[in-house]
Amino acid sequence: MIPLPRAEELEWFNSRIIQNSLWDATQETLLMVGWASLATVIIGLPLGMAIVATSKDGIRPNRIVNWILSLIVNVGRSIPFIILLILLLPVTDFVMRTKIGWQGMVFPLAIGSIPFYARLVETNLRSVDSGKVEAAQMMGASRTRIMADVLLREALPGIIQSTAVLIILIVGYSAMGGTVGGGGLGALAYNYGYQRYFLDVLVITVVVLIIIVQLVQMIGDMLSRYVDHR
């Protein structure tokens, strides 16, 4: 059993590790989370919309397409991220030209998060009152207009909240990726806080992650209230 360090052995912000690595690790975490979140929204939003549109009560029912899309999402959600990360190493190396560092984490982070986000989008779209869709159909609105101006617009506050949840999930995934060379705050916490048991490094890293999560949630709440005109 590793003995706990004494209080006088903890250097906190005087630690050279913190002074030399904390800011760079924070930047790496923000970069990988930012790019992965952007890719997830770009792909996951239309995927969730397609699942709703092709359902039996959607604006363009297609049982086969809906079954295929739902299967892809369900399979993607069933694979634990750490296993998916390992499985995707060869593909990540091919796509990103690297499988280490924050750059090597963007691709698996996006692939692991897209199914989750697509389901969140689907849930938010399904929560829209069906009467509003029927009213738009009676007025002769096209399927595209119904999807964009009715479903998406009405569900926008919930989708923004879901996007905040997504980003927080990716922050957690990025920290997990630090155990396999992913870089960022997760790597800093693992390499020094766990392997060398520098408790001060571990605590400071966790506090920074908590601050990032709180800021993301606050911004998500503010934007959600801003676009909610109900």
Cα distances from 160 to residues 114, 164, 218, in angstroms, run 15, 6, 12
% of the chain with per-residue pLDDT over 70: 95
- pLDDT of 5 strictly over 80: no
The whole-number pLDDT of residue 39 equals 97
Greatest extent of the chain over all pairs of C-alpha atoms, in Å: 74
Burial 20-36 (b: 16+ CB within 10 A, else e): ebbeebbebbbbbbebb
Tell me the C-alpha distance between 18 and 22, whole Å.
Answer: 5
Express each pLDDT in 72-127 by its tens digit: 999 999 999 989 988 998 998 888 888 888 899 999 999 999 999 999 999 999 98
Please name each of the domains of the chain with its CATH number: 16-227 (1.10.3720.10)
Q: Cα dihedral sign for 188, 194, 195, 197?
A: positive
Express each pLDDT in 187-217 by its tens digit: 999 888 888 888 889 999 999 999 999 999 9
Non-local (6+) Cβ contacts of 122 within 8 A are: 48, 51, 52
- pLDDT of 6 strictly over 60: no
Nearest residue to 144 via CA among 50, 227, 56, 67: 50
The whole-number pLDDT of residue 9 equals 61
Look up tokens 């990716």; give the residue: 170
Q: Which amino acid is at 68?
A: I
Tell me the C-alpha distance between 188 and 165, whole Å.
Answer: 24
Q: Which amino acid is at 185?
A: L
Most confident of 21-30, 139-148, 173-182, 221-230: 21-30
Answer yes or no: are the C-beta atoms of 58 and 48 closer than 8 Å. Answer: no
Given pLDDT bands bounded at 50, 70 and 90, which one contains residue 145?
A: confident
